Structure 1
């Protein structure tokens, strides 16, 4: 990866499209209550649910990648684009098998996305990350990846039936140019 936001070339971490044959690996993190805790979704209850989501939501998504360790999917990362007057910004999201937390895998994946998304989407000027205030691990990921903490959005979203405060982070395309 090129660019000032990239790091370690020899990483065992890669990003690729998730495919239906990845279902068994996918089910590892989407059935984990620890992973789902700060996500909008509940832990998946069945392989059928996982296959349906891959077919109906993941494959048609504009930018969704599997986070792979030595080629094996261990998590996912996505960029949700905005439209209209907000098309200059998008939001990043990610999840990872809980047994792999704290190893720098998601931080590396976020850096990889930052190094490519502004090139793939030249209209994009700002990439945002919204993190629930209690999700300190995810806040550290964004900080290590070069995102700037902008503040706390009070009572900003509803997560699993309760209104939560979100911390907003951002990185600008100009902060990643050579």
Structure 2
């Protein structure tokens, strides 16, 4: 990630599964304090990042690297519920801070939405849970057409503080999914 020019065109953006050879780029992302500000994880050492990449990410059913010219600069994932919750999934995304403000995440989320409802059997609802202070991420889902449903007060503990989260949703039947 550090070797690439941080100006990207949307045609250079692709999504693909992570590979073991992505460890160095993944490490750069996972050690960026600006990136981890609103994330569930803390900065990782190389061994922790390797274990996360190999045992959690590479085996996850829908976890993709966001790439510029095949170089990972972030990630996007969808976690589908199980059993009676199979109709809904949660989307999450992270982008290296050097790439913020270029529309890359918005483009990547649109790429996911264009196919995720047909890829994951039974998925009808996609949710995004976003920290109330993470206005950039809220703008992403607003632009795409997610519906802001409300604030989940004192929803989770993040780095020692109880946090409020905004919940957004997008349904398979929403016009932005098909139009």
Q: Distance in 1 between matches of 2:121 and 2:81?
A: 14
Q: TM-score, normalised by structure 2?
A: 0.90
1:53 maps to which residue?
52
Superposition deviation, residue 55 in structure 1: 1.1
Q: Any idea what the Cα deviations from partners look like across 1:87-134, whole Å, max 9, x if unmatched?
A: 100000011100111110011111111111101013000000000000
Structure 1 position 159, deviation (Å): 1.2
SS of 1:174's partner is coil
Distance 2:30 2:154 in 1: 26
What are the equivalent positions in structure 2 for 1:1-178 lying under 5 Å apart?
A: 11-44=11-44, 46-175=45-174, 176-177=177-178
CA distance in structure 2 between the aligned counterparts of 1:91 and 1:28, rounded to whole angstroms: 25
- How many equivalent pairs are there? 168
What are structure 2's unaligned runs of at least 5 residues?
1-9
State TM-score, norm by structure 1: 0.91
Give the Cα–Cα distance (whole angstroms) in 2 for the partners of residues 90 and 11 of structure 1: 27
Question: How well do the aligned residues superpose, as a CA RMSD in angstroms?
Answer: 1.1
Does 1 or 2 have the higher relative contact order (CA < 8 Å, sep 6+)? 1
Structure 1: state its 5+ residue gaps: 1-9
Query: Where do 4+ consecutive residues of structure 1 move more than 3 Å?
Result: none
Q: Which whole-Å deviations, capped at 9, do the CAs of 1:130-165 have from their partners, x for residues lacking one?
A: 000000011011111221111111111111221111
